[in-house]
Chain A
Amino acid sequence: MSDTPIRILIAKPGLDGHDRGAKVLARGLRDEGFEVIYTGLRQTPEMIADAAEQEDVDVVGLSILSGAHMALLPRTVELLRERGMDDVLVAAGGIIPDADVTKLKEIGVAEIFGPGTSIGQIARYFREHVRRPA
């Protein structure tokens, strides 16, 4: 089933209202042939994990600019694992200090895309790293 489109959920956890980046990425990945489930602003980790579970996505992409990433990202990863979504790829984008990047990768965030990353790079990363059940 490798020829079926990659499904990605794009969400903005927390309270910051800057969704331009998330929308640009959603549109860009659409043009790269992804099926993008866009959930909008101000999502709790619970809402994101529940939506990801129902949508059975390959990737959860979290856009975060508020500085609350060390609270919201680990919680989202934990809730996804609780729901048995061990194979879902979790990635984040936004302003995240290098020191936190290491910690986030340790707890299971696969990759973090900082400012200046091109959509082509992101799409390529997902294509190479998506894990699909046999």
Chain B
Amino acid sequence: MNDALTELAMGGRRPLARLLTRIENGDPSVRPLLPELFTAGHGAHVVGITGPPGSGKSTLVNSLITEWRRRGKRVGILAVDPSSPYTRGAILGDRIRMMEHAADRDVFMRSMASRGELGGIAATTWIAAAALDAAGYDPVLIETVGAGQSEVEVARVAETTVVVEAPEMGDEVQAIKAGLLEVADIIAVNKGDRPGADRAARQLRAMLSTAGGRVERKPPPVMVTTAVTADGVAALADAIEAHRSVAREPLEAKERAANQVRRALAELAGRRAADDPSWDETLRAVADRELDPLTAAECLLG
């Protein structure tokens, strides 16, 4: 086994942190590790936590960590916050709500900047999740940037996606719009101590009871949680764990694999095309309207 992977398996935090940096930076040394990194994994349950800014994702993740630690699990967390499209700088603030677990040796938390990706996670988050799995963390939680309606990338990576909503999410029509709610395996209406939380949960249940979505399946359970008091958090942890086996049914697993491979294909094709000697000439032809973008893409792939 590769040295880096041996160090991971031994549970060192510094080697894991270092590897995560190389992964984030797209360091070429990571590429040859990838196959072994995946087989070194223990099959950790990868759980996505997404939802609008301010709905309480980080606080809920903090409560979930406490609950999972009580159940004796080693928890890995990747918390993504947005990078500035202008300066590439970022404020990564998810730790503020999780510092009580900072010194717990069985919790590993890493902040990631989205680095130009618009889907709610970074391009390398899936590799980082594999690294946490290889280091023996299970579950691995991915907290997305505050998501609007269409930042659904996390559902490609996570086996179980929890969408966190606050009670004031809007009227019933919000619940039938396409996008974020569609990728939910579980919905948590957080801030359950606020007026209207139960009503919001009832509305969501009613509107989603007819949902079809990605695969023919049951509508997602809608739970009410209060992250700051941990009310409903044990039940949420139960629901997440119960979903693990559903997520691993062949049909679901195959669809997730298809999404992951499609994404990798697009990246690979994009990178290869950019290395093609005719890249600049093709771009010029499209810019001058001599060529349409689809034909250009076919030429580059051919």
Q: B246 an interface residue at 8 Å Cβ cutoff?
A: no
Report the stretch among A30-38, A68-76, A92-100, A101-109 that lies at the interface. Answer: A30-38
Expressed in whole angstroms, the Cα–Cα distance for A62 and B92 within the complex equals: 16
Expressed in whole angstroms, the Cα–Cα distance for A54 and B102 within the complex equals: 9
Expressed in whole angstroms, the Cα–Cα distance for A43 and B102 within the complex equals: 10
Q: A26 an interface residue at 8 Å Cβ cutoff?
A: yes
Q: B54 an interface residue at 8 Å Cβ cutoff?
A: no
Q: Which residues of A contact B14 (CB under 8 A)?
A: 53, 56, 83-85
Most A CB atoms within 10 A — which of B18, B96, B99, B103?
Answer: B99
Q: Which residues of A contact B24 (CB under 8 A)?
A: 4
Q: Which residues of B contact A33 (CB under 8 A)?
A: 84, 87-89
Expressed in whole angstroms, the Cα–Cα distance for A33 and B13 within the complex equals: 27
Q: Are A47 and B110 in contact (CB under 8 A)?
A: no
Q: B21 an interface residue at 8 Å Cβ cutoff?
A: yes
Q: Are A36 and B90 in contact (CB under 8 A)?
A: yes
List residues 75-126 of chain B with CB under 8 A from any CB of chain A: 83-84, 87-93, 95-96, 99, 102-103, 108-111, 113
Q: Are A38 and B102 in contact (CB under 8 A)?
A: no
Q: A118 an interface residue at 8 Å Cβ cutoff?
A: no
Q: Are A51 and B99 in contact (CB under 8 A)?
A: yes
Q: Are A35 and B110 in contact (CB under 8 A)?
A: no
Q: Are A56 and B90 in contact (CB under 8 A)?
A: no
Q: Are B99 and A35 in contact (CB under 8 A)?
A: no
Expressed in whole angstroms, the Cα–Cα distance for A111 and B289 within the complex equals: 56
Expressed in whole angstroms, the Cα–Cα distance for A7 and B89 within the complex equals: 9
The residue on B at minimum CB distance from A40 is B96
Q: Which residues of B contact A40 (CB under 8 A)?
A: 95-96, 99
Q: B20 an interface residue at 8 Å Cβ cutoff?
A: yes
Q: Are B87 and A54 in contact (CB under 8 A)?
A: no
Expressed in whole angstroms, the Cα–Cα distance for A53 and B17 within the complex equals: 7
- Chain A, interface size category, equals 20 to 34
Q: Are B96 and A38 in contact (CB under 8 A)?
A: yes
Q: Which residues of B contact A34 (CB under 8 A)?
A: 89
Q: A66 an interface residue at 8 Å Cβ cutoff?
A: no
Q: A5 an interface residue at 8 Å Cβ cutoff?
A: yes
Are A56 and B17 also in contact (CB < 8 A) when A31-B87, A32-B89, A50-B102 are? Answer: yes
Expressed in whole angstroms, the Cα–Cα distance for A38 and B14 within the complex equals: 20
Are A38 and B91 also in contact (CB < 8 A) when A54-B109, A55-B110 are? Answer: yes
Give the distance to chain A from B107, nearest Cβ to Cβ, in Å: 9
Q: B249 an interface residue at 8 Å Cβ cutoff?
A: no
Q: Are A35 and B21 in contact (CB under 8 A)?
A: no
Give the distance to chain A from B134, nearest Cβ to Cβ, in Å: 16
Q: Are A5 and B88 in contact (CB under 8 A)?
A: yes
Expressed in whole angstroms, the Cα–Cα distance for A51 and B101 within the complex equals: 10
Give the distance to chain A from B28, nearest Cβ to Cβ, in Å: 10
Q: Are A35 and B89 in contact (CB under 8 A)?
A: yes
Picked from A4, A36, A39, the residue with its CB within 8 Å of the CB of B99 is A39
Give the distance to chain A from B65, nearest Cβ to Cβ, in Å: 13
Q: Mark B9-22, 1 if CB is under 8 A from A, else 0.
A: 00001100110110
Give the distance to chain A from B79, nearest Cβ to Cβ, in Å: 10
Q: Are A30 and B102 in contact (CB under 8 A)?
A: no
Q: Are A54 and B17 in contact (CB under 8 A)?
A: yes
Q: Mark B25-38, 1 if CB is under 8 A from A, else 0.
A: 10100000000000
Q: Are A56 and B99 in contact (CB under 8 A)?
A: no
Expressed in whole angstroms, the Cα–Cα distance for A54 and B135 within the complex equals: 13
Q: Are B102 and A47 in contact (CB under 8 A)?
A: yes
Give the distance to chain B from A34, nearest Cβ to Cβ, in Å: 5
The residue on B at minimum CB distance from A85 is B14
Are A31 and B92 also in contact (CB < 8 A) when A47-B102, A54-B108 are? Answer: no
The residue on A at minimum CB distance from B84 is A30
Pairs A–B under 8 Å by Cβ, sample size 30? A5-B89, A5-B113, A30-B89, A31-B89, A32-B87, A33-B84, A33-B88, A33-B89, A36-B89, A36-B92, A37-B92, A38-B92, A38-B93, A40-B96, A43-B99, A43-B102, A46-B102, A46-B103, A47-B103, A51-B99, A51-B102, A53-B13, A53-B14, A54-B13, A54-B17, A54-B108, A55-B111, A56-B17, A56-B20, A56-B21
